[in-house]
Structure 1
Amino acid sequence: MKKIWGSLVFALILFAGNTASAQCSLCTKTAQQLGEGPAQGLNQGILYLAFTPLLIIGVLGYRWWRNNRESNPVD
């Protein structure tokens, strides 16, 4: 469990300074009309909303893999 939390903290620190563009064409046009500050906030919100389901899927996949590995030992 400590490895999972450590990985999560590392990923959040890694993505904190990232300037990835996660906007569709409609969101980009809207963000351009809002200005620089709100556009960055919109982009960070989109990245946050995309990261959360991926994190949940990753944790569930890891737990499934770990439980499956323990029940089927390889000789």
Structure 2
Amino acid sequence: MKSKILYISILMLFFSLPVEAQCAMCRAVLESEEGQETAKGINNGIVYLMIVPYILIGLVGYFIYKNKKKLTGLEK
């Protein structure tokens, strides 16, 4: 079971799709600029900030799952 989770995690890391996380107003302002370097930097920053809450929620969910499993006696 642990190897299956490891394989899925590796696949998710290597097969991630590029995302754009700018709102409509930010995109309109930044598209008028030449070079698009500022737009790329802002987009990367937004994506980076979006990752943190998902990691925290995942960790909380994992600990809840482990505690429930321990309480019900299903843990090996």
RMSD across aligned C-alpha pairs, in angstroms?
A: 2.4
TM-score (norm 1): 0.68
- Larger-gyration structure (1/2): 2
Q: Which segments of structure 1 move beyond 4 Å, counting only runs of 4 or more?
A: none
Query: Once the 2 structures are TM-superposed, how far is the Cα of residue 72 of structure 1 from its aligned partner?
Result: 0.7
Larger RCO, structure (CA 8 Å, separation 6 or more):
1
List runs of 5+ in structure 2 lacking aligned partners: none
- Opposite residue 37 of structure 2, the aligned amino acid is G
Q: Measure the CA separation in 2 of the matches of 1:22 and 1:36.
A: 15
| Unaligned 5+ runs, structure 1 | none
More helix by share: 1
Residue 67 of structure 1 pairs with residue 67 of structure 2 = yes
Structure 2 counterpart of 1:21? 20
Distance 1:33 1:68 in 2: 53
